Structure 1
């Protein structure tokens, strides 16, 4: 879709859904206070018990922040509520446990000006600020490429591109359903059908690695179920579904060398979870058919 030119200083809306994280959110807000680009507004969907965040948020009273209180119905429902209020020319959905480099938002604006017909930008994330980003070339990203370093925290959208798109309330954490991830890639895939998506490695975001604190088996299984459900929903080919299942096995030797037994256990558990989800999804579809 053709996109109008952005103003010289476009406004950025940062839509943050949060539950159960105080220290992590404090770190994110501290990083936003340090941004060299100042034309942004934070919209916070607080799904915590009343009072849980009050003292911490008071320490960031200088930030342009609007908080709404929501019941805990999952991250997708919370982000959809915030989308209904968003007004900025640019939209992002920072995870409540990520944080930005001081120049993150400035580089987002520069990149959209450099690529005026790009509707979505993907940055890159690392678990530490002193860690070099993965080797990524700047330029367009194809449909399959959206699965590589394409999580919510590195996604930045032109508002025109996501009008009418909403997060699938079946997908994502906190729904009580078995699909614990995939809401971010699902949203990105719909945006990709409307406009070009570009990778811009100068946009740096930091996010904890799952290997720092190994997720439990239930969480890994829910993420696997979400990924397989997403691939079937968007009609990805059977070969890509199978490649997704076996990808953790390919990564197991690499993560074993990098992180020892922790990396091996994580990748093996992920492979088994994806394999189980793959056959469960196909069994469900045969029964429905």
Structure 2
């Protein structure tokens, strides 16, 4: 259904702890993924940018490379990008080769990024496509070394054919637009910003009304990066149709020879050749099936392809010889139509032969396995050192492993495929090469050999026909072996004999050690039985302790219940005492109010006495006749003073009595 083809849910970003962006030209980093970079700025994710060319070609570069670089720096400042580096590769001349791949590999490693953003392989501009494949191959090599790197391809001049993530950039539209406005030299030529935002608007089609703008990405994890031929299938077909040729430096020409049975996997095999970093290849495809084989065309990616069709089925050995006669160049190598190469396969083998002009061939490691859909399931790895003695009795070099000097297959004495051999014809060919010089091993896997369940000779099968062909091969080479080869066989047999003798001695030693160990084991068994008896006694003691512990636990429970009961009773007594104290406090408060009232009454009496004294003083000024009145008044004063003293004494006594009763009540237990 539709969600299998494109996301129907937006993502806020692509998870990462550090990001490195590859931009073919200044402005591609903003037009392609400026919204995502703004999201990273908000999330404080560090971002660095590599600008591969400075965009100096033609009308777009008329302002000069320096001006375009300044525009990228200004945009980077607005998006919080940490650093911008410029490779200054030629505009419209970026090359996908080992030099640029190694540079990308170093840049990724030094950045510490776990996510790399790059243009997609479906782009129109040749620099965009070249940068895409440079990054994919650099990432593939890093993943092969154990990196957990991921690559996200963004879109610019052409929509992605496959989309894995749609990032909602609605809230970052202003930030992206502000950064885009820094590229004034380009916006003066065309409204690139409006075109990019139109693409972003279109990408919101499946995301609901709330998402106004989105950026599309194809995400490549370690599995996808380990087999870039699967990424390349649609791209190689498109390059084939458009005949996108590239300029080739003056290097040795390599002929890739394919005996095709018209299998559906031929396209994948050709795509793996189209992806080679080595720049000077020529492909020869021979129709070994006969009628019904599809013409593969005239190119595989940017490499020329020659198709040989004799209109009839051709045996494998004859097909190989026809291809050897037709091929041109310095080196040649075979590829079956159900196998494939890693992108650096040819370059590795050519470099090895360059370093050793005396060697006749070079070979790499090959992984054997089976494809389950798009999942590669490896079963065995051929990656052993070169051993001419071993090659005499075992073919451990798959046919797509070896690159050889084509001149050795020329002339009457040249190496040829033996038509009398129905199978093992490649083994016989390797033996012919080995007679003429050394084969160089290039360590590490860079080719893949797929199990063919539809027919053919599988490497680990031992059928009667294979046994017969092996005997035929042995008989052929037994009479042709030179003294040197005979010595190699003897040395190999001697090595095997000594290894077998050593293994037998070790086996005897192991058997003796085994008997000794058996005695030790018997003694240990007896010790174990004694320990079992002791363990049983300990178990009984533990059971008794358990019963005692259970009884103690019951007593503890009973004590806890008693303590809880006593505690509850004491808490009730305390509560009652608290209530009694509160009552006493109320009584004391009432008495304090009474004392306050008595104090007020005493003050009133004092005022009366003062008034009377003033009256007496006034009367003293009067006639002597008033003395009787004064005496009478003195008597009244005396009585009043006596009454006041009695009242004050009574009040004091009451207070003291009340205090004693309160203290006594507080001290008595309930």
Query: How big is the shift at 1:18?
Result: 1.3
Structure with the larger helix share: 2
With over 3 angstroms needed to count, the CA separation of the structure-2 counterparts of 1:15 and 1:150, relative to structure 1, is: same
* Aligned counterparts of 1:171 and 1:8: Cα–Cα separation in 2: 38
Paired with 1:59 and 1:11, the residues of 2 have a C-alpha distance of 16
* 1:155-181 Cα deviation digits (max 9, x unpaired): 210123333221111113xxxxxxxx1
Distance 1:51 1:37, change over 3 A: same
Cα distance change, pair 130–118 in 1 and its aligned pair in 2 (3 A): farther
Secondary structure in structure 2 of the residue aligned to 1:127: strand
Which residue is equivalent to 1:221?
464
Secondary structure of 2:317 counterpart: helix
Aligned to 2:168: none
1:233 corresponds to:
476
Q: Which residue is 2:288 aligned to?
A: 47
1:165 counterpart (408, 415, 431): 415
CA shift for structure 1 position 63: 3.5
Corresponding residue to 2:260 among 18, 23, 35: 18
1:117-160 deviation digits (Å, cap 9, x = unpaired):
2111122211356859847465x431423634212221210123
Calculate the TM-score normalised by the size of structure 1.
0.66
| SS of structure 1 residue aligned to 2:329 | coil
Gaps of 5+ in 1: 1-6, 173-180, 244-289
Q: Does 1:209 align with 2:451?
A: yes
Superposed CA offset, 1:212-262 (max 9, x none): 99979x99332222222111211189999xx9xxxxxxxxxxxxxxxxxxx
Would you say 1:124 and 2:359 are equivalent positions? no
Q: 1:16 to 1:59 in 2, by over 3 A?
A: closer
Residue 36 of structure 1 and its aligned partner are, at CA, apart by 0.8
2:434 equivalent to 1:195: no
Maintained 8 Å contact 2:299/2:305: no
1:185 to 410, 413, 427: 427
Contact 1:124-1:133 within 8 A present in 2 as well: no
Q: Return the alpha-carbon distance in structure 2 between the equivalents of residues 85 and 214 of structure 1.
A: 25
Change (3 A) 1:130 1:113: farther
Cα distance in 1 between the residues matched to 2:301 and 2:343:
19
What SS does the aligned partner of 1:65 have? strand
The change in CA–CA distance for 1:214 and 1:95 in structure 2 (over 3 A counts) is: closer
Q: Deviations 1:56-105 (Å, cap 9, x if unpaired)?
A: 54794743110111321301101111111222110111122210001001
> Retained in 2: the 8 A contact 1:12–1:88?
yes
- Give the Cα–Cα distance (whole angstroms) in 2 for the partners of residues 196 and 230 of structure 1: 21
- Contact preservation (8 Å) 2:297, 2:307: no
**Cα 1:52–1:112 shift into 2, 3 Å:** same
In structure 1, the residue matched to 2:400 is 153
Tell me how far 1:192 sits from its aligned partner. Answer: 0.9
Q: Give the 5 Å matches for 1:39-188.
A: 39-54=280-295, 57=297, 60=300, 62-70=302-310, 71-127=312-368, 134=381, 136=383, 140-145=386-391, 147-163=394-410, 164-172=414-422, 181-188=423-430
Matched-pair contact (CA < 8 Å) for 1:143–1:192: no
Alpha-carbon distance in 2 for matches of 1:93, 1:131: 21
User: What is the CA–CA distance in structure 2 between the aligned matches of 1:212 and 1:200, rounded to whole Å?
Assistant: 31
Please give the secondary structure, in 2, of the residue aligned with 1:121: strand
- Whole-Å separation in 1 of the counterparts to 2:262 and 2:254: 25
For the aligned residue pairs, the C-alpha RMSD in angstroms reads: 3.6
SS in 2 for 1:126: strand
For the structure 1 residues 132 and 219, does the alpha-carbon distance in structure 2 shift closer, same or farther, using more than 3 Å as the test? closer
Rate the CA distance shift 1:145–1:51 in 2: closer, same or farther, 3 A: closer
CA spacing shift, 1:127–1:136, aligned 2, 3 Å = closer
Stretches of structure 2 that go unaligned for 5 or more consecutive residues are: 1-248, 370-375, 497-670
| Distance 1:131-1:115 versus aligned 2 partners, 3 A rule | farther
Query: Partners in 1 of 2:457 and 2:397 — Cα distance?
Result: 20
Q: State the aligned residue count.
A: 224
For normalisation by structure 2, the TM-score amounts to 0.30
Q: Which moved more, 1:29-38 or 1:126-135?
A: 126-135
Give distance in 1, aligned partners of 2:354 and 2:400. 21
User: What SS is found at the alignment partner of 1:118?
Assistant: coil
What's the CA shift for 1:47?
A: 2.4
Offset at 1:190?
1.1
